[in-house]
Amino acid sequence: MDELTGMHELLNALEEALKASDPKKREALAKTLDAYSEDFPEEFQWVIGAQSPALLHNLVMTIDAGCHPETQSKPRSVIRLVHRKPEGNA
């Protein structure tokens, strides 16, 4: 029986490819990922949060880890979305 290639093998291969890529291209990807997380923090948090499908969460986290040098990976804060009662007459 052939061995199955699972999510972890896919993610490890992607991370290794990113780490081996041109440092300038990796830096550009890291800056783009950081800008996206700052411009759309709720969407980005959803992508890396528990509500996203496991593959999407792991894929984005792997890309983030692979394109940043280990010491420069930005810590990602948790954004909690809270349902609030509308204010005023809305």
For residue range 27-84, list pLDDT tens digits in order. Answer: 998 999 899 999 999 998 888 887 788 878 888 888 888 887 665 555 555 444 445 5
Tally the residues of the chain. Answer: 90
pLDDT at position 80: 47
For range 4-11, the mean pLDDT: 87
Quote the pLDDT of residue 77: 54
72 SS3 class: helix
d(CA 67, CA 34): 11
7-36 mean pLDDT:
90
Helix residue spans in 1-90 (DSSP H): 7-20, 23-39, 41-48, 54-67
